[in-house]
């Protein structure tokens, strides 16, 4: 919901929103464990990119993964799915 | 040409869904509803109805499929009974909260345990607070007419809520009666195609009915309540217009019979309203001033109409085919709540009758009326809730 709405009469009948990046804020701050990719082990299979439930992994030109730490919640699915253990989960400091 | 056919209320419901040009039906069979969706399947299979017929694995999925269809801009329909309706419960809230004009036939059946397949309003009445409008029908013609009227109402821009069209199991569902099916072009004139205000479209993606914080939630609830209040005003208008075009009219929210000079008014729902009329005629022959008011719409509840009836009646007797355990029947509760703030409210006696399909005849209703008149003359109700025809 847009917080610019002030009156009930301006509201739609049911909440509607268009997709946008990070409408809930930077959810990366929820993270306790941080995925780290070892590109020397990575085979470019793209399984982590397919499995990421938050679309926080993008596929680069050479098919290696790039993790968007602004929105990665640290669920660890990518590390769990990686067949060559190229992703490790490291505890966030502070 | 309008067509006169003789068929069961369930088959007639299928005819009504076809006449309403329903585009998506998602359904799961359950007695005594099954022959509604069988009739629609027959229409779909023989090419007599242009409909996407989705066979689902449960009633919850049936409702969710209807929610998706209505959100995508299609006119959606389903039908269920008793435990099937109970299984839908969670999804019913999603349908009303998303403001989707789905129409569902509920063939009233008692809730188990003990297992029963016979008529009782406890299935639909236990969905009272889901934000669905509820109609209760007294005969097969009214079932047809109410399905058509319900779509017109649900899709009104001032309403945008779903509705249940309730008909009693076996008493109506499997009983043959003559019904007039109007010309399709006249129905199309009365019920134009559905125009949704927000359509699911992959090219214009929107998130629908999503999370809202405490600073917004209450307003959405208030808008549903306002829509219900609007429906109170619009239902009688639609009913009158329908009557003018098709010749059948049902009094809007409440069907009154000989109430003008009545000392006692019998409040009923569904087919008991027809038996109540016969009882009224008999009691009037005996010189007793009795009237009947059949509550046709339970949500929104006809508070104002019941207050109006209370201006001259000395007593109201409610007959509930339902019990809210630990209290009384909902019709009794809602009636009392409606008139509580009147300066000089009439007495109200609540009767529980016909649970699990037990017969409620005009004779039963005459007995209820006579007991009520005794209390009316006493000036007090001796028993707040009286169970009728209960074994000693």
Based on the domain organization, do B294 and B182 belong to the same domain?
A: no
**Terminal-residue alpha carbon distance, chain B:** 55
CA distance A40 to B316: 84
Strands A57-59 and A65-67: antiparallel
pLDDT classification of A25: cutoffs 50, 70, 90: confident
Burial B116-139 (b: 16+ CB within 10 A, else e): bbbbbbbbbbbbeebbbbbbbbbb
Assigned token pair, A80: 């769990």
Based on the domain organization, do B174 and B286 belong to the same domain?
A: no
pLDDT value, residue A94: 67
* pLDDT for residue B134 is more than 60: yes
Structural domain includes residue A87: yes
pLDDT in tens, B363-377: 999 999 999 999 999
User: Cβ separation of A8 and B205 shorter than 8 Å?
Assistant: no
Which residues lie closer than 8 Å to A93 by C-beta, 6 or more apart? none
pLDDT in tens, B165-214: 999 999 999 999 999 999 999 999 999 999 887 777 888 888 888 888 89
Region label for B60, one of left (φ > 0), alpha (ψ between -120 and 50) or beta (otherwise): alpha
Collect all residues of chain B within an 8 Å Cβ-Cβ radius of residue A15.
208-212, 216, 220
CA distance B324 to B28: 27
Last residue in a domain, options B215, B246, B277: B246
Name the minimum distance, in Å, from the CA of A3 to any CA of chain B. 10
User: Domain containing A60: what range?
Assistant: 25-91
Q: How many structural domains compose chain A?
A: 1
CA distance A72 to A1: 23
Structural domain includes residue B159: yes
CB contact B218 to A (< 8 Å): no
Q: Among A14-23, B161-170, B276-285, which stretch is predicted with the lowest mean pLDDT?
A: A14-23
B14 within 8 A of B48, measured Cβ to Cβ: no
> Domain containing A83 — which CATH number?
3.30.70.20
User: Cβ separation of A14 and B97 shorter than 8 Å?
Assistant: yes
User: Domain containing B383: what range?
Assistant: 254-387
Quote the longest CA-to-CA distance of chain B: 70
Assigned token pair, B284: 């009037």
Last residue in a domain, options B246, B266, B291: B246
Based on the domain organization, do B226 and B258 belong to the same domain?
A: no
pTM of the model: 0.90
User: Cβ separation of A15 and B222 shorter than 8 Å?
Assistant: no
CB contact B212 to A (< 8 Å): yes
Structural domain includes residue A6: no
Query: Which of B210, B212, B223 lies closest to A13 in CB terms?
Result: B223
> Domain containing B73 — which CATH number?
3.40.50.970
CB contact A17 to B (< 8 Å): yes
Q: How many structural domains compose chain B?
A: 2
* pLDDT for residue B126 is more than 80: yes
Q: What is the ipTM of this complex?
A: 0.79
Which residues lie closer than 8 Å to B251 by C-beta, 6 or more apart? B236, B239, B294, B296
* pLDDT for residue A80 is more than 80: yes
Based on the domain organization, do B238 and B315 belong to the same domain?
A: no
Last residue in a domain, options B246, B269, B293: B246
B316 within 8 A of B335, measured Cβ to Cβ: yes
Contacts within 8 Å (CB) and 24+ apart, B153-159:
B153/B231, B153/B234, B153/B235, B153/B238, B154/B101, B154/B102, B154/B103, B155/B75, B155/B101, B155/B194, B155/B195, B156/B230, B156/B231, B156/B234, B157/B197, B158/B227, B158/B230, B158/B234, B159/B101, B159/B133, B159/B227, B159/B230, B159/B231, B159/B234
* pLDDT for residue A2 is more than 70: no
Structural domain includes residue B392: no
Structural domain includes residue A40: yes
Based on the domain organization, do B34 and B156 belong to the same domain?
A: yes
B97 within 8 A of B131, measured Cβ to Cβ: yes
Strands A57-59 and B264-268: unpaired
Strands B103-108 and B385-387: unpaired
DSSP class of residue B356?
A: G
């Amino acid at each position: 919901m847009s917080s610019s709405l002030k009156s009930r009469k301006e509201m739609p009948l049911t909440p509607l929103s268009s997709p946008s990046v990070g409408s809930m804020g930077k959810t990366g701050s929820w993270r306790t464990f941080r995925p780290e990719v070892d590109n020397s082990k990575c085979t470019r299979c793209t399984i982590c990119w397919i499995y990421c439930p938050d679309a926080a992994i993008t596929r680069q030109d050479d098919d290696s993964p790039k993790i968007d730490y602004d929105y990665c919640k640290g669920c660890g699915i990518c590390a769990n799915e990686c067949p060559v253990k190229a992703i490790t989960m490291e505890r966030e400091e502070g | 040409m309008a067509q006169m056919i003789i068929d069961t209320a369930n088959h007639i419901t299928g005819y009504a869904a076809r006449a309403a040009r329903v585009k998506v039906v998602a359904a799961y069979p359950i007695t005594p509803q099954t022959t509604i969706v069988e009739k629609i399947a027959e229409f779909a299979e023989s090419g007599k109805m242009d409909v996407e017929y989705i066979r689902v694995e449960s009633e919850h999925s049936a409702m969710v499929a209807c929610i998706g269809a209505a959100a995508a801009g299609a006119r959606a329909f389903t039908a269920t009974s008793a435990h099937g309706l109970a299984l839908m419960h969670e999804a019913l809230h999603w349908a009303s909260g998303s403001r989707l004009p789905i129409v569902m036939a509920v063939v009233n059946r008692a809730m188990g345990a003990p297992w029963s397949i016979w008529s009782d309003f406890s299935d639909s009445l236990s969905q009272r607070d889901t934000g669905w409008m509820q109609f209760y029908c007294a005969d097969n013609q009214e079932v047809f007419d109410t399905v058509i009227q319900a779509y017109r109402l649900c899709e009104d821009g001032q309403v945008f809520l779903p509705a249940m069209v309730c008909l009693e199991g076996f008493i109506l569902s499997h009983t043959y009666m003559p019904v007039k099916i109007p010309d399709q072009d006249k129905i199309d004139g009365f019920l134009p195609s559905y125009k949704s205000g927000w359509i699911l479209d992959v090219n214009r993606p929107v998130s629908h009915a999503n999370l809202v914080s405490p600073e917004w939630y209450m307003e959405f609830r208030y808008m549903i309540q306002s829509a219900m209040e609007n429906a109170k005003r619009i239902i009688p208008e639609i009913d009158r217009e329908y009557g003018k075009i098709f010749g059948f009219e049902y009094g809007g929210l409440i069907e009154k019979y000989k109430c003008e000079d009545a000392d006692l008014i019998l409040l009923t729902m569904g087919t008991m309203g027809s038996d109540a009329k016969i009882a009224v005629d008999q009691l009037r022959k005996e010189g007793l001033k009795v009237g009947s008011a059949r509550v046709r719409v339970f949500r929104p509840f006809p508070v104002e109409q019941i207050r109006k009836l209370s201006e001259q009646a000395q007593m109201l007797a409610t007959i509930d085919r339902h019990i809210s355990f630990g209290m009384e029947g909902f019709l009794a509760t809602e009636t009392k709540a409606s008139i509580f703030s009147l300066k000089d409210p009439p007495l109200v006696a609540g009767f529980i009758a016909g649970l699990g399909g037990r017969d409620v005849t005009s004779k039963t209703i005459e007995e209820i009326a006579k007991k009520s008149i005794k209390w009316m003359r006493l000036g007090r109700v001796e028993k707040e809730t009286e169970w009728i025809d209960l074994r000693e």
